[in-house]
């Protein structure tokens, strides 16, 4: 864990106490943190399925992250990127059936899943979008001028590239 990773842990506990109060706050914070780990586990398991090496999994300011290689097919890249948010979204409904904390942790997972699908920089959503429409993005001069995107446009299957994923 990076030294700024404690901020993520404290943030989860803070949200937990805000939502669950003194009685349930710690448990809710721990479950929120576990939800972040589950998100990354989704990416890791899907990457393992497609034999994509995962070089690192850690926690730092900004959240839990993995560093991994790239899949050989864009479809697999999309599935690996989508699997994190999908884990969060898939457990929303089962969690709603859990008494007491279920609805709160379900809401946290819905937020984690949906926020990660918004195509912001370094997000799963943007990664999915780029793989869905790589030629369109490569054609835009602004993105072509960015070194990372330029290498992607030149050779999308270059195995030396490593993706940094933030939940
Ligand atoms: Zn993710």
The residues placing their C-beta within 5 Å of ligand 1, an ion, are: 84, 124, 167
Domain membership flag for residue 100: yes
Instruction: Give residue 22 CA to ligand 1 midpoint distance, Å.
Output: 30
Instruction: Give residue 100 CA to ligand 1 midpoint distance, Å.
Output: 27
Instruction: Give residue 23 CA to ligand 1 midpoint distance, Å.
Output: 30
Domain membership flag for residue 63: yes
Q: What is the pLDDT of residue 84?
A: 96
CA dihedral 165, 134, 154, 46 (to 10 degrees): 40
Rounded to 5 degrees, φ, ψ at 63 are: 130, -170
Domain membership flag for residue 138: no
Q: What is the pLDDT of residue 159?
A: 46
Query: pLDDT tens, 1-20?
Result: 777 878 888 999 999 999 98
**How many structural domains are present in the chain?**
1
Compute CA distances 139 → 125, 130, 132, 133, 136, whole Å: 20, 12, 14, 10, 5
Instruction: Give residue 17 CA to ligand 1 midpoint distance, Å.
Output: 25
Compute CA distances 99 → 63, 91, 102, whole Å: 28, 15, 6
**95 is in which domain, residue-wise?**
5-124
Domain membership flag for residue 97: yes
Q: Which residue carries 């030396």 as its tokens?
A: 160
Domain membership flag for residue 167: no
Q: What is the pLDDT of residue 32?
A: 94
Instruction: Give residue 40 CA to ligand 1 midpoint distance, Å.
Output: 6
Domain membership flag for residue 112: yes
Domain membership flag for residue 152: no
Domain membership flag for residue 36: yes
pTM: 0.77
């Amino acid at each position: 864990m990076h030294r700024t990773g404690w901020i993520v842990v404290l943030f989860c506990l803070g949200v937990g106490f805000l939502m669950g109060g003194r009685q349930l706050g710690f448990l809710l914070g721990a479950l929120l943190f576990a939800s972040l780990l589950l998100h990354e586990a989704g990416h890791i398991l899907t990457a393992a399925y497609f034999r994509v090496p995962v070089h690192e999994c850690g926690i730092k300011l900004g959240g839990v992250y993995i560093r991994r290689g790239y899949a050989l097919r864009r479809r697999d890249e999309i599935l690996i990127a989508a699997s994190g948010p999908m884990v969060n979204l898939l457990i929303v409904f089962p969690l709603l059936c859990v008494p007491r904390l279920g609805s709160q942790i379900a809401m946290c997972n819905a937020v984690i899943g949906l926020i990660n699908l918004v195509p912001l920089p370094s997000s799963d959503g943007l990664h999915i979008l780029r793989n869905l429409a790589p030629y369109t993005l490569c054609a835009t001069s602004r993105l072509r001028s960015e070194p990372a995107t330029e290498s992607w446009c030149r050779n999308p299957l270059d195995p030396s590239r490593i993706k940094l994923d933030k939940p």
